[in-house]
């Protein structure tokens, strides 16, 4: 990868878990980062099952079968509308077809077991 290290995708509950990320996902994300020409700060990458419990306890909406659990997803910090546009545009151009939009982050995944060509909000 040109723009990321595997440790950026580590679960806070399992050091080194970023190595479990799906290689195709990482390749697509690296391509999107190059297209966007702006930094991507990863706020969540690989998740272990205990992460789901931890995040739900904090009040977050978290899917039980999250694409994060299989290394097919990441959340990217976005703090303004211009950055949000840059990130989403680059993700689409890189070939992603599953995007979630929140106030402070963009979720992206390429989980083949989930519906494609979808964008949702949190």
How many other β-carbons are positioned within 10 Å of the β-carbon of residue 24?
13
Domain boundaries, the chain: 6-121
Q: Does residue 106 sit in helix, strand or coil?
A: strand
- Which pTM value belongs to this model? 0.95
- At 98, the pLDDT band (50, 70, 90 cuts) reads very high
What is the predicted pLDDT for the residue at 117? Answer: 98
Contacts of residue 100, defined as CB under 8 A and 6 or more positions apart, other chains included, come to 106, 107, 108, 119, 120, 121, 122
End-to-end CA distance of the chain: 29
CATH top-level class for 6-121?
Answer: alpha beta
Q: Does residue 86 sit in helix, strand or coil?
A: helix
Write out pLDDT tens, residues 27-73: 999 999 999 999 999 999 999 999 999 999 999 888 889 999 999 99
């Amino acid at each position: 990868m040109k723009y990321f290290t595997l440790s950026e995708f580590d679960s806070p509950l399992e050091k080194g878990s970023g190595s479990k990320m799906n290689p195709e996902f990482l390749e697509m994300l690296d391509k999107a980062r190059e297209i966007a020409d702006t930094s991507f700060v990863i706020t969540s990458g690989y998740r272990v099952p205990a992460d789901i419990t931890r995040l739900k306890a904090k009040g977050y909406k978290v899917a039980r079968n999250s694409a994060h659990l299989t290394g097919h997803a990441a959340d990217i910090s976005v703090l303004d509308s211009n950055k949000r546009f840059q990130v989403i545009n680059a993700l689409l151009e890189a070939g992603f077809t599953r995007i979630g939009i929140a106030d402070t982050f963009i979720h992206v995944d390429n989980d083949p077991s989930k519906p494609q060509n979808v964008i949702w909000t949190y």
